[in-house]
Structure 1
Amino acid sequence: MTEETARPSWSSPVVIGSTVLVVLLLGAVLGMFLTQRALGGGGEATPAAGSVEVGFAQDMSTHHLQAVSMANWERDHTTDPELKQLAFDIQSTQLEQVGRMKGWLMLWGQPEQALGAYMTWMTQPGGHDGMNMGAATPAAAGGQMPGMATNEELAKLHSLSGKELDVYFLQLMLRHHQGGTSMAQYAHDHASISAVRTLAQSILISQGAEMEMVKQMLAARGAQPLP
């Protein structure tokens, strides 16, 4: 049997691309269903532009999609089964969540991406409740959200191979997860729609567990988190 015929059918780019599309569509449908049920059953008003709910869905989708992109690259280029599994888990989980958030935005009649600066929904008057925002300071228009990799860092990731690739991926992903935590926590604490709070809590739990795993994987490879 040749290498070409032995390769599983799911590994082809066409099949992988189709799988990504299906996950996004399923997430969008699920997001619309959960939001419709919340609005219909709890009397929750449709959120407006600039609200916590809309801002969270827009900015967290953008944040997640970079993590999906990095995870896809790692999954396709690493030779380490442990890293391949981690990358697959991140990609599949966050892609489903992106689909859910985009479904909400469609239902609410809002654009998929924020217009202007990121994270302004976290600085509404009276919205902090004494919370220490720390890294949650709004990003300037065109600026990066906390934890996001720069173009230079992504180019470096794409230039590496072997253990160096795995370590740098783990370092970037740890920082990425840490950067998204403040948004998820703020949405969990301030969103008025229960479905949004539930997703934010799910992100906090899943990414919290992944951060601990990534730290252990870095230590096992004799590496440290990025400064």
Structure 2
Amino acid sequence: MTPKRAGWTAGAAAAVLVAAGAITYAVAGDDGADRVPSADSADAGFARDMSVHHQQAVEMSYVVRDRTDDEEVRRLAYDIAQTQANQRGMMIGWLDLWGLPKVSSDPPMSWMGMGGAPSAGEGSLMPGMATDAEMERLGTLNGKRAEVYYLQLMTEHHKGGVHMAKGCVEKCSVGVEKRLAGGMVESQESEIRLMADLLAERGAKPRA
């Protein structure tokens, strides 16, 4: 493994540790936050929407692990799946703790105002999310073609996730959630750079 790859792996491991610490602080009443966010707050909206966003990343990552033998892509997919599954569990746990619904009748990401947001493509629930057709196609590919398509889809997925996480950093009021969102921005931007390198090694690049 190259030093760059080793550094990225260490960073991914650190992100998981930060996430684990975040839920501990939340349960302990970090920030002295006895107040409960409202159902239409940025805190609740981010927890709901990012949970959905993360779930697709987990599914996508497990699909590609079954479609390739490449160890770097499989390791990346596993790390993304584990990290985002853990973070999703935290956010759903917060909604339970706050006694708030996990679904809303409001359009996705309405808590952000969506000013300057990347648009969701046709058939995509939120910016960056793959469509059903794209998920189905990923499940039909193997080897290098699966690797390239996954890296392209996940790059877009991360870009949408980073935009949403930055929205929480700006608008959320619960300290531990803002810190988790900030950690998401840092880790996912790092993974976007790594995926650009992996695509270049395969003679490909992110989709426009």
TM-score range, shorter chain: 0.7 to 0.9
CA RMSD, 1 decimal: 2.3
Q: Secondary structure at the match of 2:59?
A: helix
CA spacing shift, 1:143–1:156, aligned 2, 3 Å: closer
Matches within 5 A, 1:23-42: 31=23, 33-38=24-29, 41-42=31-32
Show structure 1 runs of 4+ deviating over 6 A. 27-30
Q: TM-score, normalised by structure 2?
A: 0.83
Match of 1:134 in 2: 116
Q: Distance in 2 between matches of 1:101 and 1:179?
A: 18
Q: Secondary structure at the match of 2:46?
A: helix
State the aligned residue count.
Answer: 189
Letter in 2 for 1:84: R
The yes-or-no answer on 1:200 pairing with 2:198 is: no
After superposition, the C-alpha distances for 1:2-49 in whole angstroms (9 at most, x for unaligned) are xxxxxxxxxxxxxxxxxxxxx9xxx89973x5334336x524521011
CA spacing shift, 1:82–1:189, aligned 2, 3 Å: same
The yes-or-no answer on 1:221 pairing with 2:202 is: yes
CA spacing shift, 1:185–1:133, aligned 2, 3 Å: same
CA spacing shift, 1:72–1:170, aligned 2, 3 Å: same
**CA offset at residue 115 of structure 1?**
2.5
Match of 1:102 in 2: 92
The percentage of aligned residue pairs carrying the same residue is: 43
CA spacing shift, 1:110–1:205, aligned 2, 3 Å: same
CA contact (8 A) 2:65 2:78 kept: yes
**Match of residue 44, structure 2, among 44, 51, 54:** 54
Match of 1:163 in 2: 144
Match of 1:174 in 2: 155
CA spacing shift, 1:28–1:103, aligned 2, 3 Å: farther
**Match of residue 72, structure 1, among 53, 62, 67:** 62
The yes-or-no answer on 1:118 pairing with 2:108 is: yes
Letter in 2 for 1:134: G
Give structure 1 stretches of 5+ with no counterpart: 1-22, 124-131
Letter in 2 for 1:35: A
Give structure 2 stretches of 5+ with no counterpart: 1-15
Q: Distance in 1 between matches of 2:136 and 2:99?
A: 35
Q: Distance in 2 between matches of 1:204 and 1:97?
A: 13
Letter in 1 for 2:109: M
Q: Distance in 2 between matches of 1:172 and 1:224?
A: 11
Q: Distance in 2 between matches of 1:134 and 1:224?
A: 24
Q: TM-score, normalised by structure 1?
A: 0.77
Higher relative contact order, chain-length normalized (CA < 8 Å, sep 6+): 2
Q: Distance in 2 between matches of 1:178 and 1:43?
A: 30
The yes-or-no answer on 1:81 pairing with 2:71 is: yes
After superposition, the C-alpha distances for 1:32-76 in whole angstroms (9 at most, x for unaligned) are x5334336x524521011100000000000000000000011112
